[in-house]
Amino acid sequence: MTYLSWGPSRSPSSNPFPMGACSSRSEPEEDEAAVASATWGPQYRKNVMFLCNHNSCRSQMADGWLRELRGQASVGVASAGIVGGTAVKEGAIVVMKEASVDISGFTSDAMADFKPEDFDIVISCCGCGTKLNGEKEAWKERAVFQDWNLDDPPAIDPGDLSAYRRVRDETKANVMKLLESVNVTWGPAYKTNVMFLCNHNSCRSQMADGWLRSLRGSSSVGVASAGIVGGTAVKEGAITVMKEAGVDISGFASDAMADFRPEDFDVVISCCG
């Protein structure tokens, strides 16, 4: 574990953990536009790949749901077919549109067009994880691999789209659970976890917490903050000045150090000396 004491007038003089480069605002505007429009890539903290046999139905619905539900979470998403890409099933397009999610413009892509190392989470939507062997085994070796084993609507639907609707809703529930696990701010999903401490977790440690969340970009760095004495309300002044800098900490909770375990953190920063 690394321990630093910044003190009331100190600033950190070294980088105690490999965060990588902070977000840069100096790229050309056209590059920024391209990055902003991409659905996955290094600009996201986590990237998810949804797989099925042909990327025609289940993985497309999962892809659509994650884009719809991720909100402000820094989670990129792509989908692909293990065997190869084909056209997106019309039934999938119709039932997703009923749920106000438009996947009509989605393309059906082949897994071979992607690299496993670009993704943190890989989801097999169809129980087809057994096909990920040999040189494809790397897809199962990412930080998280799950096999949802969803039914195949085109194979079982009686013609009224009922199977499509059921699998659509099951997929939404699974995506919501996935996002809940991804949206935690610290924990074993991160390579390095940082704890910011001050007396009451009301000001300095809250600002540090907010800055790290804002600046970590795609770095696998978890963060929490707590009060050594105990938690109190976050100071309004801290909320105001952080908002002026484009960082919203208004929803942050003020927690007590006693609610955490030191062994869960790699770096501990005392913000108050």
Strand partners, 122: 49, 145
Average pLDDT, the chain: 88
* Proportion of the chain above pLDDT 90, given as a percent: 70
State the pLDDT confidence band at 265, using cuts at 50, 70 and 90. very high
Do 223 and 193 meet the contact criterion of CB atoms below 8 Å apart? yes
Q: All domains of the chain, ordered by start, with CATH?
A: 40-182 (3.40.50.2300), 192-270 (3.40.50.2300)
Within 10 angstroms of residue 233's Cβ, the number of other Cβ atoms is 10
CA angle 16–215–177, rounded 5-degree value: 100
Q: Model confidence over 180-229: pLDDT tens digits?
A: 888 788 988 788 999 999 999 999 999 999 999 999 877 889 999 999 99
pLDDT above 80: residue 255: yes
126 is catalytic: yes
- For 29-54, the pLDDT digits (tens) are 445 545 556 899 998 888 999 999 99
Report the pLDDT value the prediction gives residue 11, as an integer from 0 to 100.
Answer: 47
Report pLDDT digits (tens) over 67-118. Answer: 999 987 889 999 999 998 789 999 999 999 999 999 999 999 999 999 999 9
- Give me the mean pLDDT over the 147-175 stretch: 98
Q: pLDDT at position 141, please?
A: 92
Residue 236's pLDDT is 96
Catalytic residue among 57, 125, 126, 271: 126
Tokens 């062997």 locate to 133
In this prediction, residue 36 carries a pLDDT of: 52
pLDDT exceeds 80 at position 154:
yes
pLDDT of residue 232: 83
Say whether 52 is catalytic. Answer: yes
